[in-house]
Structure 1
Amino acid sequence: GDPTNSFSASHGIMTSITASYNEQGALVAEVTNVPPNFDDPEAMKAAMDARRRWTTFLDDATGYDSKQRGNKAKEWAKKASKAKSAISGARHFMRMSENLSDEAREQAESMIEEIEAALEQGDNTRAAGRAEKLSKSLQ
């Protein structure tokens, strides 16, 4: 992503941490963890400390606790899923429908393109909103 809006780091068991804010202002982080030496109490303590620090960072950076972040992530995924299912529903409907006007088909295809573009940009909220409109337009 944009270097002014992202960072890369590592800390303890987290051998790679990359994070950036997407176009919607959401923090997107990817972490690679290596398991500590479970037989070494010091390594275990360091791993737990790294985990705690990471959680604290995420709490501060996002303004949400881990449960809220989990719920947000589920909500975000649900929106993408809803949008994708609206696309396949619309395509199926258009295949089966014999009396759908060319204009209605073109409008639906155009909305499908918008939804796919929104999904590609990670804007699942917009994708879900457009998907709802798409479904209504074909009723």
Structure 2
Amino acid sequence: MERFNVKRGLVKQVTADGGLAALARRHFDNVEGTGGNSFSASHGIMTSITASYNEQGALVAEVTNVPPNFDDPEAMKAAMDARRRWTTFLDDATGYDSKQRGNKAKEWAKKASKAKSAISGARHFMRMSENLSDEVREQAESMIEEIEAALEQGDNTRAAGRAEKLSKSLQ
């Protein structure tokens, strides 16, 4: 399962234009809408493609590929065509090109890393600190629970924001 950031306002636009399934029909064969903004499809070496927009407005997709016959030039052309279609679909469904998608993915992962690091740092600080009031400890533990819940839900932006607040509260 892969997650891709989507440009602000694009989900609304895609929905107005018939939804994610309608967009997918421009790129793949055998597309079936499976709900509001989700679909399942296949095309060439991609035997299974499922994608949807999640609550945070990100595109979540899963693709199953079968390897082509590398000795057959026609099979290789078909595989390259399938890959091109997938990339073009992602461009249209996210509003970002491949380089931008890579940068957004790094950004998203960095937010999760910062949140986890803040939790670790806060717990270490609380263990080492002797003059920290019980009220501050409880408040910090509450924030840690919020951060962990946000990370579990895949809301790294919220987790990073709460982590920043946690770090400031322990200074």
Which category describes the TM-score, using the shorter chain as reference length?
over 0.9
SS state at 1:80 partner:
helix
Deviation for aligned residue 1:3: 3.5
**1:110 shift after superposition:** 0.7
- Summarize the Cα distance change of 1:25–1:2 in structure 2 as closer, same or farther, 3 Å threshold: farther
Deviations 1:40-86 (A, max 9, x none): 11110000000001111110011000000010011000000110111
In the alignment, the residues of structure 2 paired with residue 84 and residue 45 of structure 1 have an alpha-carbon distance, to the nearest angstrom, of 44
C-alpha separation in 2, matches of 1:94 and 1:118: 22
- The one-character-per-residue Cα deviations of 1:13-35 (angstroms, maximum 9, x if unpaired) are 11221211121101111222221
- Greater mean alpha carbon deviation, residues 18-27 or residues 66-75: 18-27
Higher helix share: 1
User: Whole-Å Cα distance in 2 between the matches of residues 138 and 5 of structure 1?
Assistant: 42
Q: What is the deviation of 1:5?
A: 3.0
Corresponding residue SS for 2:62: strand
CA distance in 2, matches of 1:45, 1:2: 30
Contact 2:147 2:162 in 1 (8 A): yes
CA-CA distance at 1:108 after TM superposition: 0.4
The one-character-per-residue Cα deviations of 1:106-126 (angstroms, maximum 9, x if unpaired) are 100111111111111111111
1:115 corresponds to: 147
Q: Percent identity?
A: 97
Unpaired runs of 5+ in structure 2? 1-32
Distance 1:18 1:84 in 2: 30
CA contact (8 A) 2:91 2:97 kept: yes
Q: Does 1:127 align with 2:159?
A: yes
On the 8 A contact 2:69/2:75 being kept in 1, the answer is yes
CA distance in 2, matches of 1:23, 1:5: 11
Q: Distance in 2 between matches of 1:35 and 1:91?
A: 47
**1:5 to 2:27 alignment:** no
Q: Which runs of 4+ in 1 moved over 6 A?
A: none
Is residue 150–residue 158 contact of structure 2 (8 Å, CA) maintained in 1?
yes
Identify unmatched segments of 5+ residues in structure 1: none
Structure 1 residue 133: Cα displacement: 0.5
Contact 2:34 2:40 in 1 (8 A): no
TM-score normalized by structure 1? Answer: 0.94
User: RMSD over aligned Cα, in angstroms?
Assistant: 1.6
Following superposition, the deviation at residue 2 of structure 1 comes to 8.4
| CA deviation after TM superposition for structure 1 residue 4, in Å | 2.4
TM-score scaled to structure 2, two decimals? 0.77
